[in-house]
Structures are given as structure tokens and as C-alpha cells.
């Protein structure tokens, strides 16, 4: 294995722009799918009436079926965004991101596990007030992008997981403040529902934006100092493990 495999990834400005554009496109596709499906089922679920009614008055017969269906739509939309984003990233840099069933399977499995954890919250809070479903959806998306962005890097380049951890954490804070500010800028529940067209691509873009900046900064730091601190940490750990194995033999 060459030394280049143990050095920070040299991300180019052109690649960063492609990552940003692809994240926006994936987010738009996911949000359009979500809104289209919601409105297709609107006559059955009475989506518009439910959200407008809860905004005007709290006197409404709450049903647990409606939050369940809405949470499932949210799960499918978030899964689409995650899979499309990773697919675009594989196309942009096939050497860094591996296009295998194992990688896609792990993404699907994690999205499913997170949804199963969030589903009871969707149902319980949605049963109290349908308006809560949208709030939980925003939180769900932020948590998903945080952990999925870490999962992508862990599956492809675990040596620099600390870079992605700090990048994802900062992205979570930044995107959380911006997305929640935009979300609460809409007054009615029905308007907040339509704001999902903006929130999904915006949140996906912000995570990709911050991660790209971190990756570019770390490589610039490496070129300036010629010292790869993160690789050195894992290298020392691997050398200690090899030494222990030799002693056991």
C-alpha cells in the first residue's frame, strides 16, 4: 500500500462545489418526493385540513394513524436523500467513497434503526398535536445527517474519523440554528409543511458545506506542517497491536 493511502485526502475546490451541488439536488429530490406523496394521500389523510385545523384551534380529534403515516413518509424521504447523496459522492470521488452493497446496506440499516427510535416520538407527540410532527421531522433530519455523515467516512476512511466528527458536530450546530430559524419563521402549520421543500436540501447542503471546509482545511494544514496528526494516532495504535501479537507468539 502506498504512502498516499495514509495521507489526508487532497480535496479540490472543484470537487467541493460538486459535493455542494449534489447535496442540494439530493435534498430537493427527497423533499419533492415527500411533498408529492403527502399531497397524493391528502384526500385520505386530510393533511391540509388537519394542519390548518390544529393551527386555528386545538379542538380536533387526534388520531394515532396520521402520525404513523407521516413518520413513515419522513423515513422514506430521509432514506432517499441519504442514498442519493452517497451515490453522488461515489460518482464524484470513486477512490474515496466505495460503491458497494455493503455501504448502501449500512446506510439503509442505520436509517431504519434511527426511524424505529424516532417513530414512538412521532406518534406520541403527534397524537398530542399534529404540529409536533413537523418539529420532530426537523430534529429527525438533523440527527440523521449528523450520524450518516459520520457513517460514510467511517466506512471509507476511519483513520480521519476525528475530522468528520468535529465537522459533523459543527455542521449539526450551524444547520440546526439556520434550519430551525427558517422553520419557525413560518407561522401556520400548513406553511411549515410546505417549508420542508426548503429544509431538506438546505440541511443536507449545510452538512456537506461544513464537512468540505473541514476536509480542505485539514489538508492545507498537513501541507503546511507536513505532519498528519490523525494518521499518526492510528499508526501508533496499529503498531502497538502488532507488537502485542508478536509478543503473544
**Res. 163: pLDDT tops 70:** yes
Residue 1 covered by a domain: no
- DSSP label at 158? G
Report the alpha-carbon distance of residue 10 to residue 43 in Å, rounded: 51
**Res. 52: pLDDT tops 60:** no
Residue 227 covered by a domain: no
Residue-range definition of the domain harbouring residue 67: 9-216
- Written as nine digits, the cell of 127 is 397524537
Residue 237 covered by a domain: no
Residue 241 covered by a domain: no
Residue 224 covered by a domain: no
Q: How far is CA 64 from CA 56, 117, 118, 123, in A?
A: 20, 17, 15, 6
Report the alpha-carbon distance of residue 38 to residue 41 in Å, rounded: 5
Kindly report the pTM of this predicted structure. Answer: 0.80
Residue 45 covered by a domain: yes
Report the alpha-carbon distance of residue 190 to residue 64 in Å, rounded: 19
Dump pLDDT digits (tens) for 103-154. 999 999 999 999 999 999 988 887 777 777 788 888 999 999 999 988 988 8
**Res. 59: pLDDT tops 50:** no
Q: With contact defined as beta carbons under 8 Å apart, do 200 and 152 qualify?
A: no
Comparing 40 with 49, the larger pLDDT belongs to 40
Report the alpha-carbon distance of residue 204 to residue 10 in Å, rounded: 22
Residue 249 covered by a domain: no
Q: What total of structural domains would you count in the chain?
A: 1
- Written as nine digits, the cell of 189 is 402549520
Cite the beta strand spans of 23-179 per DSSP E: none
Residue 17 covered by a domain: yes
Amino acid at each position: 500500500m502506498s504512502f498516499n493511502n495514509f495521507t489526508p485526502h487532497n480535496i479540490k475546490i472543484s470537487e467541493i462545489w460538486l459535493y455542494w451541488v449534489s447535496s442540494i439536488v439530493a435534498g430537493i429530490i427527497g423533499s419533492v418526493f415527500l411533498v408529492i406523496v403527502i399531497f397524493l394521500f391528502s384526500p385520505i389523510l386530510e393533511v391540509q385540513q388537519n394542519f390548518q385545523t390544529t393551527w386555528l384551534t386545538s379542538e380536533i380529534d387526534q388520531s394515532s394513524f396520521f402520525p404513523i403515516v407521516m413518520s413513515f413518509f419522513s423515513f422514506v424521504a430521509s432514506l432517499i436523500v441519504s442514498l442519493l447523496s452517497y451515490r453522488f459522492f461515489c460518482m464524484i470521488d470513486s477512490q474515496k467513497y466505495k460503491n458497494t452493497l455493503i455501504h448502501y446496506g449500512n446506510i439503509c440499516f442505520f436509517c431504519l434503526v434511527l426511524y424505529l427510535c424516532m417513530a414512538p416520538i412521532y406518534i406520541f407527540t403527534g397524537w398530542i398535536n399534529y404540529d409536533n410532527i413537523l418539529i420532530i421531522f426537523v430534529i429527525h433530519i438533523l440527527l440523521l445527517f449528523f450520524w450518516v455523515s459520520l457513517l460514510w467516512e467511517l466506512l471509507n476512511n476511519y483513520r480521519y474519523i476525528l475530522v468528520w466528527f468535529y465537522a459533523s458536530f459543527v455542521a449539526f450546530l450551524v444547520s440546526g440554528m439556520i434550519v430551525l430559524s427558517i422553520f419557525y419563521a413560518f407561522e401556520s402549520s400548513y406553511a411549515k409543511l410546505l417549508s420542508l421543500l426548503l429544509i431538506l436540501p438546505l440541511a443536507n447542503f449545510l452538512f456537506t458545506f461544513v464537512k468540505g471546509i473541514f476536509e480542505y482545511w485539514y489538508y492545507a494544514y498537513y501541507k503546511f506542517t507536513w505532519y498528519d496528526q490523525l494518521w499518526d494516532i492510528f499508526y501508533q495504535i496499529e503498531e502497538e497491536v502488532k507488537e502485542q501479537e508478536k509478543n503473544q507468539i
